[in-house]
Structure 1
Amino acid sequence: MYFSSILKKLSFDVDMWEPSTEDMKINPDFLAAREDYKGSPNVAGTLKGKGGGRSILLNGHIDVVPGGDNDWNDSPWSGKLEDGKIYGRGACDMKGGIIANVMAVKAIMDSGIQLNGDVIIESVIGEETGGAGTLSAISRGYKADGAIVPEPTDMQLCPVSMGVTWFRIIIKGLAAHGATSYLGVNAINKASMIVQKLNEFEAKRIKEIKHELYKHHPAPFSVNIGIIKGGIFPTSVPDEVIIEGRMSFSPDEEISEARRELENAVYGAAREDGWLKEHMPQIEWYGFCLNSGSVDKEHALVKTIADNYKYVKNDDPNIVGTPWGTDAGALIRYGNTPAVVFGPGPGGTAHKANEYVDVEKLIETTKIIACTILDWCGYEQ
């Protein structure tokens, strides 16, 4: 309600709705993290232009990861302004970017400028769990000639977004008393073989999969083991281990291809073990999948943002790929909307304690987005 009231004050036509699971079917790889989206509305506002200009969509996700209470100097929800930094969970990722979108349009309107092209501002849910909100907005018809997603890129210009997906591997053993462990099969020992193979698989991907806009990144397309669960009692042989992790993939890869390669690595390791060969690990893709997407570096939107970066900063932007998945992939793949990720930062504080957005970067980002809207949509003063 709060965000919709902001847009209404700016004379946007406002649409607020709760996404449905049907909306996600445009992405066959989507993995639902919840059964429904009651109480979690999307908001989209449209500011109609006079006509004859290109439209632009300014997308931002309103959801955040859990705040946590450890290691914060203040409450994760304080919104404290100190030394040019605004602190709080989501300040950087990505409420700062959402505010940059709003204030950019407000500055244009306060200047008495009438845009030729339409402007759409979105506050979407669920990016942190796979992008449900943006998929729903696309299904509802929200598309444009170009889009900016102001994730915390540290004002680096990102026409490429990597893909990210989560996996779960279930490894079975055979329970026994620890004193007669020879009567059982230790699932933790078997899981250690799979972990080793996953590490080898990751090293191979890092070595072999390259992309022009990830030359700066030491390990962009990685495999991270985030959770291992196994065993129920110190004197029992564990009969099950669950490994959960994250795999990122290049925009040049199809998600099905990346998943198949991980599956082949796990099954290949299992076939080398007498027990696992007869009790194959079970692999699940669950909970999170953001597809990759890319826009050519020479695309008009990339050039427009770059030109306005130079106008504001008197310097050329650094053009790279995102280090994480974003909703830009969905906009590109399923919304037929060229999308560039460009926002404030520092991105390195996202998901951490004492997360903050840098106020100077926030103001500079707002100026660049405002100037980009003017050049992209066209205007009459």
Structure 2
Amino acid sequence: MATIDARAATKGKHHFEPIRFLQQIVAIDSCDPPGGEIEIARLVHRELLALGIESELDEFLPGRGNVLGRIRGTGEKAALVLSSHMDTVPVGTVPWQRWPFSGEVENGRLYGRGASDMKSALAAMIAAAGKLAAEPSIKLRGDVILAFTAGESANLLGARRFAERGLKKEIGAFLCGEPSDLDVVIVEKAALWLRATATGRLGHVSGEAGVNAIDLIHEFLTSLTALDLDCPEHALLDAPTVRVGRIQGGSAVNVTPDHCAVDFDIRLHPGVDHKEIVAKVEKLAPTGVNITVLDFKPAVESKREDAFVELCVDVCARHRNQTPEIKGVSYYSDGTVLLEGLSVPFAIIGPGSLGLSGQPDEFVSIENVLKAVDIYQDVTRAWLS
């Protein structure tokens, strides 16, 4: 583990081009697993310093690093956090028409893994911060904190690292750049990850049959379809979901498997007690199947009438020449860790498109990226000055 701490920002003018930088970081494979975001983190760190912004690069695991940028305010108001992550989901097995790390630009779109989710927001936030830092006449009443993380896509490693280091104590408002089509997202579902493990008994087709662990898991998954999640309806969210993501079992085709495990994802509305859901799942499990909790990521929600949400809506409307939609999403963000237990305003505004995460030929609208730069800058200026 190594930590590089550079708090003294460089002086002088530096021209940051968000689209060119986006091409540069899309060309870097930071799929999680295994992550390896450190190359991007170093580039981000260097750009922030060149823009005159304080920056700290924290390589908290080999190849995994966070970047914390800061524009200091007067301290009269709690900080506004701009949140993006530097990792992406894997490329997948479906063929792409373009090289996944090309950063190719065509017909107003930039293509590549992470273009939408969410390296485009990362580039736009750096550009917005650079413009704010270049305006010495603006007096910000609170700090602008750029919280750029590793390992968001699976286990929120970077956000947990920030939490360990005390970032939560500084947060007064939280603006995340996850994909939203430049609409304003104010609620995300909770994510409950469970593992069902079946223990059987070895057997063979020529003798004692044993107890088939895969059959036990099949029985469990069949009963799981009857799970009653009993979530209250939410105006901005679709129904709760149960999705199987991974299954593993057996050692040889002619040997009765004595072990099988399945990992599954349950998405829940705000306010649902996830422990009650775990208890319901356990009741469905047949003898020989054990349920364990892999992770729980709480829901995050702001009220439509919050002043910060109203500000985000007004700024987006001005730059888009139309009123943005207020939305809820099924994905989670770094906010699930960094805002847990806090009562601070939260919103997601991202240039990426909902539904493109994890898809082949992922892209982002260049126009959206450039609008996001102005939106992030104006929201920050209005909230803190």
TM-score of the pair, normalised by structure 1: 0.82
Residue 336 of structure 1: CA displacement?
A: 5.4
Residues 208, 2 of structure 1: alpha-carbon distance in 2 compared, 3 angstrom cutoff: closer
Partners in 2 of 1:6 and 1:337 — Cα distance? 29
Q: Aligned pairs, how many?
A: 341
Partners in 1 of 2:136 and 2:93 — Cα distance? 45
Tell me the equivalent position of 2:198.
Answer: 171
> Aligned ranges for residues 28-47 of structure 1 at < 5 Å?
37-47=61-71
What is the SS of the residue equivalent to 2:319? helix
Bigger Cα displacement from structure 2, 294-303 vs 360-369: 360-369
1:210 aligns with 2:233: yes
Tell me if structure 2 keeps the 8 A contact 1:294–1:332.
no
1:155 aligns with 2:182: yes
Residue 329 of structure 1: CA displacement?
A: 1.8
- Measured against aligned partners, the alpha-carbon deviations of 1:162-192 in whole angstroms (never above 9, x if no partner) come to 12132221112233333557x4333333222
Residue 324 of structure 1: CA displacement?
A: 0.8
Gapped runs of 5+ residues in structure 2?
1-41
Tell me if structure 1 keeps the 8 A contact 2:54–2:70.
yes
1:129 aligns with 2:154: yes
What is the SS of the residue equivalent to 1:348? coil
Residues 54, 241 of structure 1: alpha-carbon distance in 2 compared, 3 angstrom cutoff: closer
Tell me if structure 1 keeps the 8 A contact 2:246–2:263.
yes
1:251 aligns with 2:270: yes
Tell me if structure 2 keeps the 8 A contact 1:93–1:350.
yes
| Counterpart code for 1:9 | A
1:311 aligns with 2:318: yes
What is the SS of the residue equivalent to 1:166? strand
Partners in 2 of 1:265 and 1:102 — Cα distance? 49
Tell me the equivalent position of 1:372.
Answer: 379
- Measured against aligned partners, the alpha-carbon deviations of 1:118-155 in whole angstroms (never above 9, x if no partner) come to 21112111111221212222332332211111101222
Bigger Cα displacement from structure 2, 187-196 vs 329-338: 329-338
Residue 65 of structure 1: CA displacement?
A: 2.0
Partners in 1 of 2:384 and 2:248 — Cα distance? 52
1:185 aligns with 2:211: yes
1:78 aligns with 2:125: no
Tell me the equivalent position of 2:43.
Answer: 2
Partner residue of 2:307 out of 282, 286, 300: 300
1:225 aligns with 2:233: no
What is the SS of the residue equivalent to 1:297? coil
Tell me if structure 2 keeps the 8 A contact 1:61–1:126.
yes
Tell me if structure 2 keeps the 8 A contact 1:53–1:376.
no
Partners in 2 of 1:260 and 1:10 — Cα distance? 52
Residue 47 of structure 1: CA displacement?
A: 0.5
Partners in 1 of 2:203 and 2:171 — Cα distance? 61
Bigger Cα displacement from structure 2, 171-180 vs 244-253: 171-180
Residue 351 of structure 1: CA displacement?
A: 1.4
Residue 315 of structure 1: CA displacement?
A: 2.3
Whose RCO is larger (CA < 8 A, sep 6+)? Answer: 1
Residues 369, 133 of structure 1: alpha-carbon distance in 2 compared, 3 angstrom cutoff: same
Partners in 1 of 2:283 and 2:322 — Cα distance? 46
Tell me if structure 2 keeps the 8 A contact 1:12–1:45.
yes
Residue 236 of structure 1: CA displacement?
A: 3.3
| Counterpart code for 1:150 | G
Tell me if structure 1 keeps the 8 A contact 2:249–2:261.
yes
Residue 265 of structure 1: CA displacement?
A: 3.0
Partners in 2 of 1:14 and 1:178 — Cα distance? 63
Partners in 1 of 2:283 and 2:348 — Cα distance? 33
Tell me if structure 2 keeps the 8 A contact 1:185–1:239.
yes
Gapped runs of 5+ residues in structure 1?
20-36, 271-275
Tell me if structure 1 keeps the 8 A contact 2:196–2:217.
no
What is the SS of the residue equivalent to 1:263? helix
Tell me if structure 2 keeps the 8 A contact 1:331–1:337.
no
